[in-house]
Structure 1
């Protein structure tokens, strides 16, 4: 069994023709369980959750159009899961819960892209890394990983160590392992799975999310995994999954989680 649960249509259109390009590629790659998880900030219905100038310029979808796309796809027997990727926003748990419960998502991804007004993975904000204390950024980032897990709102945490995207990584390994430890402690007490994401290979950091040491802690604490490519173009669906599967098996994983309308089931990996 292979999954690819983290994919975006935002570089094209919310149309059946464009969606088919993704699902066709998933079939070619032998991906059995495939889903689209558009960024929640694109939708007018999330205006009460996340507000900042960068996001506000990119809020141009309506959920009714998104849902209609999937209903059309299912009518034509296209096998695709309907999901959303939400920016985890501290202090907005009730608003996030109301949004999630308002729709019949197959699963929901929670991700951390913002520390306050700092978009940690955005090229427009990269200069900020030189101005800020890297240890404080990592602490604040993993503070959010912990509270994301504790919220128990999400089925999957996206690219759990995205904070390393531009290769800014604390030199103190003990500090880093402490962050991994507390993050996985919280995840182990939640329903949240961890994705092995191949997107990092296509980013400046040039490696998978998560770091092998972090994934080892996930495995030790029985935190389930899924595989994801975070494809923003059809050709990236299932990209570099050989590396993701190798890492998972090296760490000890033999199974993978699947989702359908909130229900989860475990299957053998690969």
Structure 2
């Protein structure tokens, strides 16, 4: 029972026709547990949670329209879960919790995309990597992964080692293992699952999230997984899942977590 819970409509429109292209692609690839998790910063209702100039240029959706789209989909017998991908924002736990509780999400993804005002995965900020202390960026990134897990607000953490996206990776393996260990220690005590995401294969790093050694730590500590493609266009739904399944099996995973209206169920694959 594969999943693909991390997908975005932002390159198209919040319309049934566009959504249907994603759902049809999932169906064609035998992915029964499919969801859309639009970036929360696109919505006017999240401005009190996080506001950066880069986001304000892209804040053009209303949650009312988003919710209506899913009800229209369900009324047309489209099998799709309603979710959101939130930029985890330290210091805004109450605001994030209030926003999440306002909507009947099937599940919620929390992701770290920013270290302060540094958008770590954005092409516009790529030159910043050469200006900053690599180890300090990684330390601050994983600080947020830890507190994201400790908040227990999220069902899934998105692309847990996104920080490697542009191939800026510390050479000190012991340092990396230390970051992985403290992240997984926090995750094992939370409800948060880790996604095996194929999106990294389409990025400069050309590697899946997470690294095999990090995924092995997750397995050893009993942290559940889901599969995700992080598709921003229909053709990428379920992309490279053969590699994702292989990584999961090699790591020892035999099941995934599924979600429905906040309820979770573990299913063998």
TM range (shorter): over 0.9
Q: What residue number does 2:229 align with?
A: 229
Q: What residue number does 1:133 align with?
A: 133
Q: What residue number does 1:216 align with?
A: 216
Matches within 5 A, 1:86-235: 86-235=86-235
Write the distance in 2 (CA, Å) between the matches of 1:224 and 1:36: 20
Note the C-alpha offset of 1:125. 0.1
Q: What residue number does 1:245 align with?
A: 245
Match of 1:258, SS state, is: strand
Note the C-alpha offset of 1:4. 0.1
Q: What residue number does 1:258 align with?
A: 258
Match of 1:264, SS state, is: strand
Q: Cα deviation per residue 1:158-211 (whole Å; 9 max; x = unaligned)?
A: 000000000000000000000000000000000000000000000000010000
Match of 2:34, SS state, is: strand
Given the two structures, how large is their TM-score scaled by the length of structure 1?
0.99
Q: What residue number does 1:43 align with?
A: 43
Q: Cα deviation per residue 1:25-62 (whole Å; 9 max; x = unaligned)?
A: 00000101000000000000000011111001000000
Given the two structures, how large is their TM-score scaled by the length of structure 2?
1.00
Q: Which runs of 4+ in 1 moved over 2 A?
A: none
Write the distance in 2 (CA, Å) between the matches of 1:119 and 1:157: 17
Q: CA RMSD in A?
A: 0.3
Q: Cα deviation per residue 1:91-112 (whole Å; 9 max; x = unaligned)?
A: 0000000000000000000000
Note the C-alpha offset of 1:19. 0.3
Write the distance in 1 (CA, Å) between the matches of 2:87 and 2:42: 11
Q: Cα deviation per residue 1:64-115 (whole Å; 9 max; x = unaligned)?
A: 0000000000001110000000000000000000000000000000000000
